[in-house]
Structure 1
Amino acid sequence: MTSCLFRCGGSPRPADRRGEAGMGSETVKQRRFSGGWRPAATVAMIGGFYVLLPALPAAGVALVWTAHVHGWPVQLALALAAGPVWAVVGTLRALFSSDPPEAGLRLERDRAPELWRMVDELAAAAETRAPDEILLVPEVNAGVTEQGNWLGLRPGVRRLYLGAPLLACLTAGELRATLGHELGHFSGRHTAWSAAGYRTVAGMEAAGSTGGPAGLLLRGWLWLYLKVAMPLSRQWELEADAVSLDAAGRTAAVSALRREAALRHLEDDYAHAWFPLAILARRTPDLIGGLHAYLGAPGRAAEVAALAAQDTLGALEPETGAWYSTHPPLDERIALLQRLPAPEVAADDRPAAVLLPDLAGAVAELGRSLVEELSAASGPEEPVADWAQIVERAAAVRVQLSAARHTHRLEESGVLARADLASVLAAVESGRGAELAAPEPSWQEDDNASAGRRTGSAVVLAVLAEAAVLATGRGGYRLDWSGPPALLVDGVPAGLGEAAARAAADPAAVPELRRRLAELGAPPDHRPDRAAFDFPDEILTVFGNVALRHRTYDLVICTHGLLLLRRGVFRLAVGQQRRLARLQARGRTALHARRHARAIPVETLSSIRLVGADSAKLDLRLTDGSTLRLRTTAESVGDGPVDVLRALVADPPAVALLGEPAAP
């Protein structure tokens, strides 16, 4: 199953009038923040790139001619000249490729008349052309694009992308602020600038990936361009925020930023907690319907409010504010909105869903289209299933896997000669419950994170008890969007988590747990068999060209660990995606047999630590005390390994499959 959490494009900047339709008398042009020298420098660097690019092949041709005339090694000259030629080819392909529009459900005017009326009103007030299309997208986001020609400098089709969760969870006033922000990007011509910048950056990346002296020079040019241009993008976001302030007032504008950040945080939680269930169950789910059910679960609105009310929001979106980020930190944006003068705008506390009466039908339509796409990619091996079926299947497999892992660990470490249920209960009753606790690999995002955690004896005991009940065939798990799946036996909650917690805390409570297990028919001699539930060692993804101790490797992430495949000194930078696809198709066994391949079993991983704010370095700490620092480079290609590695270390046998079942 493809675990693709939808994220649409963002936006660029604003510049509009506020004298109409609820906007203030001051114009947006008067509120623009000076870009200083950066706009001119950005244009100069774009122009310089297109001057530099053809000059490099010319220099290569001159080098080959000189080598031929003077009798120098022509082969070396040809090798050096090949890089600039490939740079030009790659750049032309990047510049003139036509990207298909983002997928989404097109909302015609007759389907969402109130939404279109609000968009038209805000566009008129901003003195900008309204979008030609509004597309409903699955993610917690909104964005605008303008598909023009000549690097985006000629006006073209304007599209507004609106996340369905925003309609479901915001108020109409907050959505008005969000729409004002996005239309501000149109009025300020940010979409045209960002389109030109996007194409140029794509060309620079293609040119810089060629390797050799030319590639090094072009990568340096790209780095310098981003250092100059990214602050300009962050300035555009602040200008767009000023437009949202005039569109909806201070309260709605600030609340929209806060609540969107909270919703994005919960969207990420949903992806990390629920996507792995579908992988574990080997089923294709309705990801979009699941997200809406998750956000609409009892108590979730209070969770959104609590997250949005935090004094500082940096923890919700830590990547904003970095030098390469397109958006300023949330706290900086909110502080600006609090400082700027704002018009009095009547609060509109209606649910934003009133702007699209058929929101449920639109979400279902979006979900069906994504399910069809995922089902076609997954094939018959992963049939479509609803979330109740997925949770029932996956939660059982997860508990059985985890129980088998703990059984293996307790026996290998000598804590118990045979780790069946009766022996485990006897150990806890005799006061040895603390010995059940297991060292647990950890994910660390900064140097202050704890070096590791321990899976408590209560969790281990609950897992082993639930696995024994599942062996009777009477138990099953019930979907609960508000918390972990609950084990039911004959339709009644088993209550084993609470009983296990009491037994772990007080050995005198073990008889109570033993009686409860007997009532449920759990066999005392039950001992989970890891081989019955384990997964084949399959390749999950391949990340190309990561650096480790001055050498370059391909990082292969498998179900049961990692493979590092050393790359040669001389390597082409073209066709990388095809090369990675071929590696993945060869299979883990064939790759492991390659010369200089290094296997890192997941059991040997102690922790993974993100180094720095740019996610460019990962420290893999091994159980023998050594550390491997993997570093992405300008030549790195493929899906980022961070999330996959994070999931991998959370539950060793089954990779991206969740950690321990939740503690009671």
Structure 2
Amino acid sequence: MGTTLRALRALLLLAGFYLLGVLLLAALAGADYLLLLHAPTSLAGKLVIVSVLLAIPLVRGLFMLRTPQDEEMAGLPVTEADEPELWRTVRELADEVGTAGPSRIVLTADVNAAVAEDARLLGLLPGPRRLYLGVPLLQGLSQAQLRAVLAHELGHYSNSDTRLSALTVRGRAQVLRTIRHFEQRADRTAAREQAKQEKKNTKAEAKGKQAKEVDTGNAGITYRAMAKIYVGYAKLYFRATLSVSRRQEYAADAAAARITGRDATASALREIPVLDGAFDFYMDCYATLGTGQELLPPRGEMFGGFGRMLSARQLELVDRRDNPPTGPSSPYDSHPPIAERVRRIEGLPDDGRADEARGAALDLLADPRRTLAELEDAVLTEEVRRFRRTADWQELLDLVMAQSFRAGTSPLHRAYVAYTNEQPTLTALLDLIEDGRLWQLAKRLPLSDEAAAAQGRVFREFVRPTLHRSLTGMALAELNTRGLLRWEFSWERSAIPHLPPAVDGTETDLDEVVAPAVADTPDTAPLRALLTHESPQRGAL
């Protein structure tokens, strides 16, 4: 399908949205006319008011011809003077694809690459082009794999895909916004009805009458019905544009394989979902480790540490690399399943280009450390940039652990306060256990109905896991306060706590120390002995 025909189809689909609105308004007007002619005046008046309320979001949708101008994705724009090798690579690939290259390259903090174009005249005339390139891709891909990714994105330019995206996105946005208007009105109507019924129940109870069950099932039903009509059109719209979008992806994959090689393209497709999952894990467990305490890793390390984590955890990623996702992320995902794209590319004849450009993609940057630091300035909010920077990752871990242990919000903490009206300390808790009051305290824990009804040994088995976890946390906090606990930062696994050694010099197993304190016949001696160790010298583990 040529560019002109695809533009025409996108325009017709968008026009269909407005035509649907006109038809619904006409149907409402016709219904109002018939009601005024044939229905009783009181009933007709009420129904006309309903139709007017339904017409308001329809009219608003029809006049939403202008959508907010797309904002540029947050990132670090780089000029040819900043990154000459990257620009040379992009232009070289654009020549091989047979299209004009971008006029602007923006580095982002996403595991993604994308192209955009400010096209004119419904996408028939080209405009300035932008390439968005995620730095995490540079950290995780080889140069051959990155070239495949870039060739794929530039292939969208050559197929004029980027010109039509604005029109297609506008149509999707209009339909979704209208659906959202109807759903919001339905929710507000249901909320008003719920408040009304609850108010009636309150008055009834004050008079000694039985309250009725609150039922808002029919509230906002007309709005939801209108929303369903547009949901049906949205499915038609998305499916009509979906098949072409997926064909465009296959065509861009084929262009990448032709230019950069079959193996590089297939391996890049396998690697991207692996990097995506790994980056989410990195951001959750490393980069944002201290944001709750307004702490950040050293400058440049917010995203820079991702590369080191990838190197340390390569073995964990092998299985995901060998088993790419077999399904789309949603029924309307414009991208075909990765596994199907890989199958198509690996089914191509061997082109003998397996050993090309195997260096790290990050080496294309003139100064990776500088770029990683400047990327933070470009994508982090001003508030986050004011957070305290630690000297290294180890200091970040130490500070976070020290602050988190001060919280004291475990179920056992709350149960102790409820039982004694005092703030708990580990020493006071051990005294209470030695007095034989542990199981009375345990009754103040959050309990299921089954646990609350249990007695004796059965009750103890119910509450023991909660007691063990909470007491372990309190022990770690106490050891940390006394300087007896050290945390070892690791890229390969979770942070490792180092406790004072056991009597025989072996490493202490905290579970084995805590378990006797919550046994049927509690014994606090092992835990007290652990707390009597002297603090190690600074820097020792």
TM-score (norm 2): 0.70
Deviations 1:385-424 (A, max 9, x none): 447565333322333446743444589899xxx8845866
Corresponding position of 1:164: 135
Does the alignment pair 1:221 with 2:233?
yes
Query: Partner of 1:73: helix, strand, or coil?
Result: helix
Query: Aligned ranges for residues 518-529 of structure 1 at < 5 Å?
Result: 518-520=532-534
Name the CA distance, whole Å, in 2 between partners of 1:290 and 1:94: 41
Name the CA distance, whole Å, in 1 between partners of 2:298 and 2:379: 7
Alpha-carbon distance, 1:496 to partner:
11
Q: 1:100 aligns with which of 66, 71, 76?
A: 71
- Residue type of the partner of 2:510? A
Alpha-carbon distance, 1:287 to partner:
9.7
RMSD across aligned positions (CA) = 4.6
Query: Aligned ranges for residues 524-535 of structure 1 at < 5 Å?
Result: none
Q: 1:354 aligns with which of 355, 363, 370?
A: 363
Corresponding position of 2:376: 367
Corresponding position of 1:114: 85
Higher helix share: 2
Alpha-carbon distance, 1:113 to partner:
1.9
Change (3 A) 1:53 1:302: same
Corresponding position of 1:464: 474
Bigger CA drift: 245-254 or 475-484? 475-484
Alpha-carbon distance, 1:237 to partner:
2.0
Corresponding position of 1:54: 22
Query: Aligned ranges for residues 68-87 of structure 1 at < 5 Å?
Result: 73-74=44-45, 76-87=47-58
Alpha-carbon distance, 1:162 to partner:
0.5
Name the CA distance, whole Å, in 2 between partners of 1:483 and 1:263: 17
Does the alignment pair 1:329 with 2:337?
yes
Query: Partner of 1:148: helix, strand, or coil?
Result: coil
Alpha-carbon distance, 1:374 to partner:
3.7
Alpha-carbon distance, 1:76 to partner:
3.4
Alpha-carbon distance, 1:225 to partner:
1.9
Q: 1:185 aligns with which of 135, 138, 156?
A: 156
- Residue type of the partner of 2:78? L
Query: Partner of 2:126: helix, strand, or coil?
Result: strand
Unaligned stretches of 5+ residues in structure 1: 1-14, 16-28, 30-36, 377-381, 442-453, 523-664
Query: Partner of 2:119: helix, strand, or coil?
Result: strand
Alpha-carbon distance, 1:234 to partner:
2.8
Say whether the 8 Å CA contact 1:145–1:191 is kept in structure 2.
yes
Alpha-carbon distance, 1:249 to partner:
1.3
- Structure label with greater radius of gyration: 2
Name the CA distance, whole Å, in 2 between partners of 1:425 and 1:175: 62
Does the alignment pair 1:396 with 2:407?
no
Query: Partner of 1:159: helix, strand, or coil?
Result: strand
Change (3 A) 1:391 1:193: same
Corresponding position of 2:272: 260
Query: Partner of 1:87: helix, strand, or coil?
Result: helix
Q: 1:138 aligns with which of 90, 105, 109?
A: 109
Name the CA distance, whole Å, in 1 between partners of 2:148 and 2:6: 28
Q: 1:269 aligns with which of 278, 281, 296?
A: 281
Corresponding position of 1:313: 324
Name the CA distance, whole Å, in 2 between partners of 1:135 and 1:469: 48
Query: Aligned ranges for residues 354-433 of structure 1 at < 5 Å?
Result: 354-375=363-384, 383-386=387-390, 388=393, 390-401=396-407, 404-408=410-414, 420=426
Name the CA distance, whole Å, in 2 between partners of 1:233 and 1:190: 8
Query: Aligned ranges for residues 495-574 of structure 1 at < 5 Å?
Result: 498-503=508-513, 514-520=528-534
Say whether the 8 Å CA contact 2:136–2:306 is kept in structure 1.
no
Change (3 A) 1:510 1:300: farther
Deviations 1:244-286 (A, max 9, x none): 2122212211221222221111111123324663343144678
Query: Partner of 2:115: helix, strand, or coil?
Result: strand
Name the CA distance, whole Å, in 1 between partners of 2:408 and 2:17: 54
Name the CA distance, whole Å, in 2 between partners of 1:260 and 1:504: 44
Bigger CA drift: 504-513 or 361-370? 504-513
Query: Aligned ranges for residues 432-443 of structure 1 at < 5 Å?
Result: none
Query: Aligned ranges for residues 473-488 of structure 1 at < 5 Å?
Result: 479-486=489-496
Q: 1:127 aligns with which of 95, 98, 103?
A: 98
Query: Partner of 2:373: helix, strand, or coil?
Result: helix
- Residue type of the partner of 1:273? C
Name the CA distance, whole Å, in 2 between partners of 1:472 and 1:249: 60
- Residue type of the partner of 1:114? E
Query: Partner of 1:136: helix, strand, or coil?
Result: strand
Query: Aligned ranges for residues 176-255 of structure 1 at < 5 Å?
Result: 176-211=147-182, 212=223, 213-255=225-267
Say whether the 8 Å CA contact 2:145–2:265 is kept in structure 1.
yes
Deviations 1:123-170 (A, max 9, x none): 122222211111100111111111223554542221111111111221
Say whether the 8 Å CA contact 1:489–1:520 is kept in structure 2.
no
Name the CA distance, whole Å, in 2 between partners of 1:358 and 1:240: 30
Say whether the 8 Å CA contact 1:151–1:199 is kept in structure 2.
no
- Residue type of the partner of 1:105? L
Does the alignment pair 1:293 with 2:305?
yes
Alpha-carbon distance, 1:208 to partner:
2.2
Deviations 1:143-200 (A, max 9, x none): 1111223554542221111111111221110101111111111112222333222110
Name the CA distance, whole Å, in 2 between partners of 1:214 and 1:150: 32
Does the alignment pair 1:147 with 2:118?
yes
Change (3 A) 1:94 1:482: farther
Corresponding position of 2:196: none
Bigger CA drift: 480-489 or 256-265? 480-489
Deviations 1:559-579 (A, max 9, x none): xxxxxxxxxxxxxxxxxxxxx
Change (3 A) 1:61 1:210: farther
Say whether the 8 Å CA contact 2:139–2:306 is kept in structure 1.
no
Change (3 A) 1:502 1:231: farther
Query: Partner of 1:297: helix, strand, or coil?
Result: helix
Change (3 A) 1:478 1:176: same
Name the CA distance, whole Å, in 1 between partners of 2:70 and 2:447: 44
Bigger CA drift: 116-125 or 285-294? 285-294
Say whether the 8 Å CA contact 2:499–2:508 is kept in structure 1.
no
Change (3 A) 1:142 1:303: farther
Unaligned stretches of 5+ residues in structure 2: 183-222, 449-463, 537-541
Deviations 1:409-448 (A, max 9, x none): 589899xxx88458669979x9x99x99x9999xxxxxxx
Say whether the 8 Å CA contact 1:270–1:294 is kept in structure 2.
yes
Bigger CA drift: 418-427 or 111-120? 418-427
Name the CA distance, whole Å, in 1 between partners of 2:129 and 2:6: 26
Alpha-carbon distance, 1:42 to partner:
6.6
Name the CA distance, whole Å, in 1 between partners of 2:489 and 2:403: 15
Change (3 A) 1:320 1:141: same
Name the CA distance, whole Å, in 2 between partners of 1:229 and 1:504: 60
Deviations 1:532-563 (A, max 9, x none): xxxxxxxxxxxxxxxxxxxxxxxxxxxxxxxx
- Residue type of the partner of 1:398? S
Query: Partner of 2:58: helix, strand, or coil?
Result: helix
Change (3 A) 1:238 1:465: same
